[in-house]
Amino acid sequence: MADSPIYTSLLGQGAFGIVLKSILSCEAESAVKFIFPNDNDERVKLLREYTVTKGLEKHANIVQIIDMEEERLYRQDIEEIFHNLPKTEQIKTLKSTITKKTKGYSIQSIRIKMELCGQTLRKWLNESLNGNDLHIQIRQNTMVQNLITGLKYLHDNKIIHRDLKPENIMFSKGRYQLPVKIGDFGHSRKIHSEESNTGGLLTTGVGTRSYMAPEVRHGNYSYAADIYSLGLIIWEVVQLLGDKRNIDFDKLVYDKKEELVEDHVIMIGIRNIIISMSRRTVEERIGLEEIDFSPWNDNLSKIIEDQGCKFLWDCILNSSKEFVVRTNTQLKLALDNAVHGCVIRLNEAVYTGRFSLLEDKISIIGQGSRSLLKFGDAMSLNIYGDEISISNIKISVAKYKAKYCLRLDGSRNVIKDVEFSNGEAEYMLMVAGDDNKLETLAISESYGGIYVTGQNNTITKILMDNVRSIGIFIGYGSSDTKISDITLSNVIQGIIVNGSKAHISKVKLTKASLDTSSLWNKPQRYIGLVVYGSDFKVEDINCSDYSRITNDWGMIINGGSGEITDCFGGSIRIAGSNVKLINVSCGELLEIDNDAKDVTLVSCCGQKLMSIIKPVMMNNQFELIVIPLRI
């Protein structure tokens, strides 16, 4: 294997060991399984079984074993393996457990490098799926053919899997990209010619009970045991059995309740195939070579032609890296089936509904100037993936007090050239991930603006007009937020910062003149900037027309350990500790209240300075200075 791989995430864990995502600069990403045998007998067995598939040619429906090696891991090796993994409690516990196994020296390991795949079939089955949805029906047809083709390939190469179950079947990439692949060959073994037909004496009880053929319990079994397991899996895929699957399995196999098995709108005859594959008696089971896909394919072609759903077929097959959508249905299908690197182009149209994107590295681009996402309830576009780009679209939400309109839960996403308007959501845009960039956005005629939490997010080149609540809200727990090149006009509360290490620069705030009587029972005061967080930096802010005559503040600084420079602040109130103002015009009033400590003023000016403490002052110009302030 290549030297010095970097392990970036935990893909799985179990009694066998751990599976990590591995990156090498000169290779594609891969999955690496570390197995720690308990004794030499187990070591020999694992080496034999995982060697079974190593020499196979690459197949679309089989997870490829790229390489395998046996090695001793020392404490330093374990440190290097875990060095780049997230520092979660789960991973810390795993690291500690493996380190203890070294007993102060080393531990025997088997490292298996495999093709990196997506989610398991079990995870897909656990989703809330609608079996009457044509999208699901076409996927079911494709998945069943993938599974039969993959198992036939193993059997043609004299390999019996012995532990077929949805947990050992993987989607190709991302979440649920087809085709599906059979993986995890820890129980696999070669079948000799004398064992292939009548069965041979093999290890009893191998596999998972729910999917285990009856004959496996006695040790006299062969390929037909896999066919039995696959029959139950296919039934689960076709009929979406859910949590009652184990009860239904027993009823079908042992009570012969064949009426439980239903046919499929595309795979006509699959009912009889499932029943035949899962017969209790080996001799009654159908062979894989007897299953003919052509009637299903003909039926599917007819459905696609009759219903005009080639777009759906293209989405499911992921046959294109670019989708041009024109309707709500097409947009939902594209988002559900998008894969890494895919571009979704929105034709000029109005798209309504609730949408979500779970995949990574997708671009959503509006075509022309009239690509509008129009929503009526909360969180109508949710982005859960990482490295998503959204640009050149318009978004509005109509429902009063909906929580959010567009939400980013992933990281390293970019939202650019997007217009938000006519929105009654509490916030038009919510950001909850890290390292996201919001750039060249316009928000107008809305209730709320932008809500950001997370680490190292950037907000730049924002125009905001007529916002009846908060323009930009930086939430608790966030840090290193960068806010720059912002113009806020008629925003009641401009920017509120609760997180630490915020850097705010080049902001122009014009005091609101909105009628808010329908929203509050009492008159509202208007505030340009409020800082509660620590270690902040504020520079080049202009909120000069916020007046104390109407009980407004240009700035309220309650946070500590911060610096404000080169600002036209309007009236300013300081209640934090270790705050320094340099070259700040304070308008009608600079008030330093009794909670403030260690305030420094350098080259500041204004009409009036009122303070209950004595700040450090250098080269300031105030028309009136009142120290101490009497309450």
Quote the pLDDT of residue 1: 46
Helix (H) or strand (E) holding 567: strand 562-568
Asked if pLDDT for residue 497 goes beyond 80, the answer is yes
Q: Which of 419-433, 487-501, 502-516 has the lowest mean pLDDT?
A: 502-516
Cβ-count burial 32-57 (b if 16+ within 10 Å, e if not): bbbbbbeeeeebebbeebbebbeeee
Q: Is the pLDDT of residue 27 over 90?
A: no
Of the pLDDT bands very low, low, confident and very high (cuts 50, 70, 90), residue 202 is low
Residue 511 pLDDT? 77
Instruction: State mean pLDDT over 564-576.
Output: 93
> Is the distance from CB of 431 to CB of 410 less than 8 angstroms?
no
**Predicted local distance difference test score (pLDDT) of residue 526:** 78
Closest CA to 339 of 321, 313, 356, 353: 321
Select the more confidently predicted residue: 187 or 197: 187
What is the b/e burial string over 597-621, where b = at least 16 CB atoms within 10 angstroms of the residue's CB? eebebeebbbebbbbbbebebeebe
Q: Look at residue 195 and tell me whether its pLDDT is greater than 70.
A: no
pLDDT tens, position by position, 267-294: 999 999 999 999 999 999 999 999 999 9
CA distance 275 to 288: 13
pLDDT digits (tens, 9 = 90+) for 343-400: 999 988 888 888 888 888 999 999 877 777 776 654 578 898 899 999 999 888 766 5
Note the pLDDT of residue 318.
64
Give the mean pLDDT of the chain.
87
Question: Greater confidence, 38 or 603?
Answer: 603
In sequence order, the 6+-apart residues with CB closer than 8 A to the CB of 320 are 314
Which of 114, 182, 123, 116 minimizes the C-alpha distance to 147? 182
When mean pLDDT is compared over 193-197, 229-233, 422-426, 593-597, the highest value belongs to 229-233
As a whole number, mean pLDDT of residues 205-227 equals 85
Note the pLDDT of residue 44: 78
**Rounded distance, CA 504 to CA 473, Å?**
12
User: In this structure, what token pair is assigned to residue 37?
Assistant: 């045998």
Q: For residues 543 and 155, which has the higher predicted lDDT (pLDDT)?
A: 155
Query: Where does the pLDDT of residue 204 fall: very low under 50, low under 70, confident under 90, or very high at 90 and above?
Result: low
Q: pLDDT tens for residues 456-473? A: 999 999 999 999 889 999
3-state secondary structure labels for all residues of 103-132: CCCEEEEEEEEEECCCCEHHHHHCCCCCCC
pLDDT band at 188 (very low <50, low <70, confident <90, very high): confident
Reply yes or no on whether the pLDDT at 629 is more than 60.
no
Residue 314's pLDDT is 74
Structure tokens at 610: 């009122």
Confidence of residue 182 (pLDDT cuts 50, 70, 90): very high
What per-residue confidence (pLDDT) applies to 518? 53
Query: With 90 as the cut, is the pLDDT of residue 63 above it?
Result: yes
Is the pLDDT score of 146 beyond 70?
Answer: yes
Predicted confidence at residue 533, as pLDDT, reads 94
Taking 50 as the threshold, does the pLDDT of residue 262 lie above it?
yes
89 CB neighbour count, 10 Å cutoff:
7
pTM exceeds 0.75 for this model = yes
521 contacts 486 by C-beta, under 8 angstroms: no
Going by the DSSP 8-state scheme, the letter that residue 142 receives in this structure is H
Is 257 labelled as part of a ligand binding site?
no
- Which burial class, exposed, middle or buried, applies to 551 when counting CB atoms under 10 A from its CB (0-12, 13-18, 19+)? exposed
pLDDT at 139: 92
Supply the pLDDT for residue 520.
Answer: 46
Instruction: Give mean pLDDT, residues 511-519.
Output: 58
Is the per-residue pLDDT at 524 higher than 70? no
